[in-house]
Amino acid sequence: MAMSEQTVTAIKSYQNQAQVLVKNYIIADPFIPYTSILAGLLACKVVYDLTQLISTFYFKAYNGLTKIQRMEWNNRGISTVHAIFITALSLYYVFWSDLFSDQQHTGPITFRSSWLSNFGLGVSVGYFLADLGMIFWLYPSLGGMEYVVHHSLSGIAVAYSMFSGEGQLYTYMVLISEVTTPEINMRWYLDTAGMKRSTTYLVNGVIIFFAWLIARILLFVYMFYHVYLHYDQVIPSI
């Protein structure tokens, strides 16, 4: 059934208004930090609910857990999705994007940023805020003071890089280490589900070892080497 000319005009009007809203507010530079943090918080809520829904129907062990264990199960779903998202974005900016390339002559690499790099960091800040909220709410079931300190310092560092636009390349380098989070969460899932003696648990342990070696040790060696090569650009930001 064909739409009337009046209906088509109304739809186009709403589309134009939506485009103006997105362009002038949601992805406008002054609003990107706040929009991205809100997006991160909302994404955490959505992932939490989806993890709960999927686990209820597809994982038998889930329904046998205590209330606190189910909440931690769902919370680890959030951290897994965040880790995948931020690791993929970090790998792109560190190894493939032209934004921090030496071929670019747009000033020191420590002062380069874009709306997308700011948005990605903002989503990560939203995650840290949501996770901190969960930790405080269920304290100390989801982790003790060491978790509070870790998440607080991480969130503050990422937020500073986002709002100031400084050191985003090295912030993304550090965030690549989140690649180990899904494997660590998987170990907890398998242990909680009573599969600690399974082959999957063993294979996951081997993956953790190599992921930790690459992302938590070799990557930091590369980062310090990169700082050494770009020492003259790094010094002004210290």
Mean pLDDT by 10 residues, the chain (238 residues): 54 54 52 92 97 94 94 97 98 94 82 93 97 94 91 95 94 96 97 93 97 94 93 77
pLDDT given for residue 21 in this prediction: 46
Question: CA nearest 220: which of 167, 181, 170?
Answer: 170
Q: What is the pLDDT of residue 9?
A: 59
Tokens of 220: 């930091």
- The three-class DSSP label of residue 219 is helix
Longest Cα–Cα distance in the chain: 67
Q: How far is CA 58 from CA 18, 55, 184, in A?
A: 38, 5, 21
Give phi and psi for 13, each to the nearest 5.
-65, -45
Ranges of each domain in the chain: 30-179
- pLDDT for 6: 57
For 68, other C-beta atoms within 10 Å of its C-beta total 11
Spatial separation of the C-alpha atoms in residues 162 and 168, rounded to whole Å: 7
Q: How far apart are CA 123 and CA 197, in angstroms?
A: 36
Q: State both tokens at 14.
A: 């709403």
Amino acid at 10: A
Q: How many CB atoms lie within 10 A of CB 143?
A: 17
Which residues fall within 8 angstroms of residue 89, CB to CB, at 6 or more apart?
120, 172
- Evaluated on CA atoms 25, 29, 33, 37, the torsion sign reads positive
Rounded CA-CA distance 188/193 in Å is 8
What pLDDT was estimated at residue 25? 47
* Per-residue b or e along 34-43, where b marks 16 or more CB atoms closer than 10 Å to that residue's CB: ebbbebbbeb
Please report the sign of the dihedral spanned by the C-alpha atoms of residue 187, residue 155, residue 233, residue 117: positive
The pair of three-digit structure tokens given for residue 214, joined into one six-digit string: 């690459």
Task: Tell me how far apart the alpha carbons of residues 55 and 42 are, in angstroms, rounded to a whole number.
Answer: 20
